[in-house]
Homo-oligomer: A and B are copies of this chain.
Amino acid sequence: MKHGNVIVGQSGGPTAVINSSLAGVFKTARDRGANKVFGMQNGIAGFLEGRYVDLSEHIQTDLHIELLKRTPSAYLGSCRYKLPEIEENEEIYIKIFKMLNDLEIEHFFYIGGNDSMDTIKKLSHYGEKINSSIRFMGVPKTIDNDLAETDHTPGYGSAAKFIATVMKEIIKDANVYGNQNIHIVEIMGRNAGWLTASAALSKGEDCIGPDLIYLPEKVFDVDSFLSSIENLRKNKKSIVVAVSEGIKLKDGRYVCELISSQSQFKDSFGHVALGGTAQFLSNTITQEFGCKSRAIDLNILQRCGSHMVSRVDITEAFVAGGHAVEASFRGETGKMIIFNRVTNNPYQCTTQPFDINKIANIEKKVPLEWITDNGTYVSPEFLSYARPLIQAELSPIMVDGLPSHLYN
């Protein structure tokens, strides 16, 4: 069956598997008879500047598709751009729809997180308002795993696998001298602790796991933290703590605000750039106990570590892209693909298009009942939930000793 033109964009922070979703959109659209598949460069922001490409000129072979899946960051580039409300600035919508109509676009796909789903919501609302036949579908993506309604989000499983892997390595390394030392590992997650919680996956028969885990879902208290450390020091030389960059004090300030920083930036959504939480805690430990402490910030490695992805995750990312195309081609619009968990052990998930209005701008946090009462660890329920998402690998395509990526 023949279909018209398709356009796809990527938005928000990159993940190790966001390009697998792009591959899923491209391959499915092409295989199912789309005429042309365009890619917005730097999302809707770049598209508004007239920047887009014909993807078939860049993804020419099946090997390209395999390389694309394994390429970190957003192949098309990304943006952090929020559309104004329709009543505030209708001109921008008129412009976008004129551009889409000029390109004879029938299907519009946007791969992203909370803020990106807001774009799908607004464009589908405006399309409805003007009786446009263009369909708008969201493809979930975020390492933060904080999208509503879906069991989980592509990108999370691979980030969790990377975090758990390096936690195992850090814990082994931290024990090497047998001396008293305290490692504080800072993990991404502004308001939701899914990523930090994944540090607990490192615990197993060959690893003791982190000693303490602090998520942003619970108020952080520096004194309680220090007394937890003091207790652990009585029986343990090497202590490893996983801490979210987004932990906050009772008064609402981020812990990282306690460290003076010369380089605090706000992004275009007004989010303060976080960082320094682990360093602050590490400094505080040294002052309090006079023992060695090291801060480790996993930084952007946890979102771009495509050399160690979860096969479950990268496959689901591809499927989410493909199913968005399939749904749009049969007439759906204003929806995002969600995952429904059928069974946990053995793990099985299905996908379903779901009303974007119930997803956009909503953050899903770690349930409080999955955090221990003293706020320093996660429960077995979390582990049962997360473990299936990090299973199996997709080997990088190695060339001359390094993982190979698709390039423009």
Q: Do residues B300 and A173 form an inter-chain contact, with CB atoms below 8 A?
A: yes
Q: Do residues A407 and B304 form an inter-chain contact, with CB atoms below 8 A?
A: no
Q: Do residues A206 and B407 form an inter-chain contact, with CB atoms below 8 A?
A: yes
Query: Would you call A270 an interface residue if the criterion is a C-beta within 8 Å of the partner chain's C-beta atoms?
Result: no
> Closest CB-CB distance, A154 to chain B, in whole Å?
16
A43-83 interface (Cβ within 8 A of B): 46, 71-74, 77-80
Q: Which of B77, B294, B303 contacts A175 (CB 8 A)?
A: B77
Q: Do residues B390 and A166 form an inter-chain contact, with CB atoms below 8 A?
A: no
Instruction: A316 to B77: give the CA distance in the assembly, Å.
Output: 41
Q: Do residues B407 and A205 form an inter-chain contact, with CB atoms below 8 A?
A: yes
Residue-wise interface mask of A (280-308) relative to B, using a CB-CB cutoff of 8 A (1 in contact, 0 not): 00110011000011101101110111111
Instruction: A286 to B403: give the CA distance in the assembly, Å.
Output: 32
Number of interface residues of A (CB under 8 A): 69
> Which B residue sits closest to A16, measured CB to CB?
B169
Q: Do residues A402 and B165 form an inter-chain contact, with CB atoms below 8 A?
A: yes
Q: Do residues B300 and A296 form an inter-chain contact, with CB atoms below 8 A?
A: yes
> Which B residue sits closest to A171, measured CB to CB?
B73
Q: Which residues of B lie under 8 Å from residue A403 when comparing CB positions?
A: 165, 168
Q: Do residues B296 and A400 form an inter-chain contact, with CB atoms below 8 A?
A: no
Q: Do residues B400 and A177 form an inter-chain contact, with CB atoms below 8 A?
A: no
Q: Do residues A74 and B176 form an inter-chain contact, with CB atoms below 8 A?
A: yes
Q: Which residues of B lie under 8 Å from residue A161 when comparing CB positions?
A: 401-402
Indicate whether A172 sits within 8 Å of B206 (C-beta atoms), given known contacts A177-B79, A308-B308. Answer: no
What 10 pairs across the A-B complex have the smallest Cβ distances? A73-B172, A390-B401, A173-B304, A262-B283, A169-B304, A206-B407, A263-B286, A73-B173, A391-B401, A206-B405
Chosen A-B contacts, 16 in total, with CB atoms closer than 8 Å, are: A42-B178, A46-B178, A73-B169, A77-B176, A77-B177, A166-B305, A168-B403, A169-B301, A169-B305, A169-B306, A172-B304, A173-B304, A204-B399, A207-B407, A308-B308, A390-B402
